[in-house]
Amino acid sequence: MAQKGDLMTARPDIRVLDATIRDGGLVNNFMFTDDFINALYRANVKAGIDYMEFGYKASKELFDVNKFGKWKFCDEAAIREIVGDNNSDMKISVMADVGRCDYKKDILPREDSVIDMVRVATYVHQMPAAIEMIEDAKSKGYEVTCNIMAISNTQESDLDQALDMVAKSSADGIYIVDSYGALYPEQIRRTADKYTEIAEANGKFVGMHAHNNQQLAFANTIEAAAQGVSLLDATMMGMGRGAGNCAMELLLSFLKNPKYNVFPVLKFVEEHMLPLKESGAVWGYDIPYLLTGRLNQHPSAAIDYIKSGETHYADFYTDLLDK
């Protein structure tokens, strides 16, 4: 597929989603202060961000509410305490994981909610359940995406079948999700071609969610955009599980659409992200994440290794090779 757009022009179809709370919440169990969330909301509105993801719609039957902050669950009242009726141009998003969400009960009809979009996160083996969740959210009036995770570790035939199922569903968009930070720009290019061909044939858009294990989250995001992907995820200062995600300050500095303003993002990083780092929150590129990414493995082993304080990287690499 031919490149879409160029470095000098603004593509009006590109939109940006801030996933700082949702992916960043995996760093600190969603224990953000209300001041942090309020400031993030205001910064995103001022920066022209299109969507702000507040967190997960996780089941309170499966997860102890005393062990997680409120954004693990995203109760309607909690979101409204921050946004009111959200009298802004920015839309509100939440994520619902297959098998971890009481979606029939916890996702309200759209007319009763300030949420605009539900992103259904799934692995390929969970696709029938994902389709059921997609149809439920769509019937309630939401924009819906299907975020198929860990595609770098998925058989091509299984992914093709999953994409065909999403194509036939009511989902508005399909996400490329490089969960392990294992993919390179050339692979993203081919993957984006596959996704956009299917999506465009079925009236859907494609999104991109990258992880930074190999310092490629930003590169992979803009590579996907060049191939026609139009909803781009980023987080403040790249905050996210393990190595983190595409940094919002990088992405907005790259995009040419004058609706985006990087200045509020820089102020937020200065006033809130740096203190969060100084308080002990740990995320971002480190050698153990490089190694799990290179080997196309889940970053959990790297997260545990970094927490241990060990720096015997060669031994850690050898251990990974034995898995």
Q: Where are the domains of the chain?
A: 15-278, 287-321
What is the share, in percent, of the chain residues with pLDDT greater than 70? 100
The pTM assigned to this predicted structure is 0.98
207: which strand partners? 175, 231
Per-residue model confidence as pLDDT tens digits over 128-179? 999 999 999 999 999 999 999 999 999 999 999 999 999 999 999 999 999 9
146: which strand partners? 120, 174
Per-residue model confidence as pLDDT tens digits over 103-134? 999 999 999 999 999 999 999 999 999 999 99
SS3 label, residue 160: helix
Per-residue model confidence as pLDDT tens digits over 225-238? 999 999 999 999 99
Q: CB within 8 A of 307, min separation 6: which ones?
A: 282
CATH class of 15-278: alpha beta
**Strand locations in 116-247, DSSP E?**
117-122, 143-148, 173-177, 205-209, 231-234
Q: Is pLDDT at 2 greater than 80 in this prediction?
A: no
What is the share, in percent, of the chain residues with pLDDT greater than 90? 97
As a whole number, the mean pLDDT across the chain is 97
CA atoms of 183 and 177, how far apart (whole Å): 10
The pairing of strands 231-234 and 15-18 is: parallel
